[in-house]
């Protein structure tokens, strides 16, 4: 049996630190830096994100800035695929396509390089957490506008009370999450 098959079951929830009222009152911030610090926890999270897709046809992993870069980079490495950074507006050096999404107050935007995803390529989207689903939905729009096919969106944490995973499913996206927390 390989070392990976022998791994103990890891309680991912216990490794996530919750910071009340950050960045503002009423938000329970789910801090994954404590999970990233834990070798077994990090491996369990990356394995949990990628194993359902290990035998599927996938060309690229797209990760959302910034925690989606850490997790998505590890998933891309494990699956032997390339990585597409989905960045906040204005960070990428070459020609980009962008997609705005609604925040509680105002709008924000994410971008990818216009030549990052070729038509027909099959893309797996990764981030640490899905809340309202606005950020992931914008990233999915960029994949689709590039002509890519979104295979699934995978997150460590679901906040089901905020409705993001249901919102993506309603748009025909397969959503994979490892753990969930109630509330905001």
Q: Which residues are catalytic?
A: 67, 104
Burial letters for 69-78: b for 16+ Cβ neighbours within 10 Å, e otherwise?
Answer: bbbbbbbbeb
Q: Is 132 in the site for ligand AMP (CB under 6 A)?
A: yes
The one segment of 33-41, 69-77, 122-130, 139-147 that binds ligand AMP by CB under 6 A: 122-130
Q: Is 131 in the site for ligand AMP (CB under 6 A)?
A: yes
By beta-carbon proximity to ligand AMP, the closer residue of 7 and 22 is 22
Sign of CA dihedral 12, 13, 14, 19: positive
Q: Is 158 in the site for ligand AMP (CB under 6 A)?
A: no
Other CB atoms within 10 Å distance of the CB of residue 4: 9
Task: Measure the CA–CA gap between 38 and 33, rounded to whole angstroms.
Answer: 9
Q: Is 130 in the site for ligand AMP (CB under 6 A)?
A: yes
CB of 130 to ligand AMP, least distance (A): 5
CB of 55 to ligand AMP, least distance (A): 27
Sign of CA dihedral 4, 5, 9, 11: positive
CB of 78 to ligand AMP, least distance (A): 21
Task: Measure the CA–CA gap between 90 and 73, rounded to whole angstroms.
Answer: 21
Site string for ligand AMP, 64-103 (x = CB under 6 A): x--x------------------------------------
The sheet with strand 96-102 has its strands ordered as: 96-102, 107-113, 82-88, 60-64, 122-130, 149-158, 175-180
Burial class (CB in 10 A: 0-12, 13-18, 19+), 147: exposed
By beta-carbon proximity to ligand AMP, the closer residue of 140 and 151 is 140
CB of 118 to ligand AMP, least distance (A): 26
Of 62, 133, 156, 168, the one binding ligand AMP by CB under 6 A: 133
Residues that bind ligand AMP (CB under 6 A): 27-30, 64, 67, 127-136, 164
């Amino acid at each position: 049996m390989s070392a990976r098959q022998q791994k103990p079951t890891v309680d991912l929830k216990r490794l996530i630190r919750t910071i009340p009222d950050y960045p503002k009152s009423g938000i329970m911030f789910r801090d994954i830096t404590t999970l990233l610090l834990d070798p077994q926890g990090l491996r369990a999270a990356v394995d949990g994100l990628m194993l359902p897709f290990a035998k599927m046809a996938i060309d690229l992993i797209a990760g959302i800035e910034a925690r989606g870069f850490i997790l998505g980079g590890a998933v891309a490495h494990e699956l032997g695929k390339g990585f597409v950074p989905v960045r906040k507006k204005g960070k990428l050096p070459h020609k980009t396509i962008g997609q705005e999404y609604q925040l509680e107050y105002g709008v924000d935007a994410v971008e990818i390089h216009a030549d990052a995803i070729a038509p027909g390529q099959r893309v797996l989207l990764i981030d640490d957490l899905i809340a309202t689903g606005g950020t992931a939905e914008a990233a999915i729009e960029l994949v689709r506008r590039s002509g890519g096919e979104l295979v699934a969106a995978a997150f460590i944490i679901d906040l089901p009370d905020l409705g993001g995973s249901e919102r993506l499913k309603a748009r025909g996206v397969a959503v994979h999450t490892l753990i969930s927390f109630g509330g905001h």
